[in-house]
Amino acid sequence: MPTPSENTLFGMGNPLLDISAVVDKDFLDKFGLKLNDQILAEEHHKALFEEIVQKNKVEYHAGGSTQNSVKIAQWMIQEPHKVATFFGCIGTDRFGEILKKKAEEAHVDAHYYEQNEEPTGTCAACITGDNRSLVANLAAANCYKKEKHLDLDSNWELVKKAKVYYIAGFFLTVSPESILKVAKHASENNKIFCMNLSAPFISQFFKEPLMKVMPYVDILFGNETEAATFAKELGFETDDIAEIAKKAQNLPKENTKRQRMVVFTQGKDDTVATVGEKVTRFPVLDIDQNDIVDTNGAGDAFVGGFLSSLVKEHAVEECIRAGHYSANVIIRRVGCTFPEKPDFQ
């Protein structure tokens, strides 16, 4: 199997600093949050960010869905360093410096667009038991500009070096034109473009940009809730996850040399994936409920593990096995963090 070289994997998304704290149901109710939801912060959530940092055990971790995934992919690959490239926008502030330092420690080749109009984005991860509710205040992440960053020759050269591309659906709210430019490049050069449904609100409120990118998507990721919302928005008229996967696979596609693959995770239940014409179920690794510390980042970690095998050109079964392994590691820890080295054979 080929060893991936530097910049083989390209990710672009919202770099956020995760602020995680254990909260109670009253806290969720106060700010109108649902268990296991992901939303964008609105005006009435401003106080939430002030309140959560007052909690007794606050942890700060480099986050942002796509950044998490490429970081986990790099961790699974280990050597060489900088197989993963990441683009996104941060502020010129302390949180931005933390994100730069954390990317460097993870050996990810991060090229941030830095601006000083907005502060670095944050994401409040409100943990209750083994559930988490995420509220993202994009701030700087929302300021990514295609013409000021992606279009620069030195940056576009890094895009061209890649063979596998991954962008979470969350970035559709920021720069759909950047996503399309990368997706079209992948499609025209028969490279692999992967995307994630990311959250129910993406299919609900950003369906138009999502469906503009869909013809270029070679691998579509999502979880069971996102899959159900996507199916509803597209009028699939089924809530059977295998059928949804099949229908998503058969949506129009530009590059016909590659059949689209759809991969839906379902927490502790089997992961469902289209393998050729069939839909196959892959059981996840067993874990004792008591060992689950924090499910925040489990989906990102699954994708990261999957991508680490994909850049090595492994078969889909192997990619899913790697995804299950990394998700299993991450849910035993707070935030999307990992031990020094993976123990994956």
Residue 274, token pair as written in the block: 């289209």
- 3-class DSSP state for residue 53? coil
Residue 91, token pair as written in the block: 């502020």
How many CB atoms are located within 10 Å of the residue 44 CB? 9
Catalytic-labelled residue, pool 18, 109, 294, 300 = 300
Instruction: State pLDDT tens for residues 221-237.
Output: 999 999 999 999 999 99
Least-confidence region, from 3-12, 33-42, 50-59, 311-320: 50-59
DSSP annotation string for 272-332: EEEETTEEEEEPPPP--GGG----TTHHHHHHHHHHHHHTTT--HHHHHHHHHHHHHHHTT
β pairing state of 269-275 and 278-282: antiparallel
| pLDDT score at 56 | 65
Residue 137, token pair as written in the block: 């205040």
Q: Helix H segments across the chain?
A: 25-30, 46-52, 65-77, 94-105, 153-161, 176-188, 200-205, 207-213, 224-233, 241-249, 298-310, 316-330
Tell me: pLDDT of 36 over 70.
yes
| pLDDT score at 130 | 73
Instruction: State pLDDT tens for residues 95-116.
Output: 999 999 989 999 999 999 999 9
Classified by CATH at the fold level, domain 9-16+63-119+139-331 comes out as: UDP-N-acetylmuramoyl-L-alanine:D-glutamate ligase (3.40.1190)
Separation CA 185–CA 179 (nearest Å): 10
- Tell me the domain boundaries of the chain: 9-16+63-119+139-331
Are the CB atoms for 139 and 119 separated by under 8 Å?
yes
Instruction: State pLDDT tens for residues 186-209.
Output: 999 999 999 999 999 999 999 999
Closest of 39, 6, 17 to residue 199, by C-alpha: 39
Tell me: pLDDT of 294 over 90.
no
State yes or no: is 300 an active-site residue.
yes
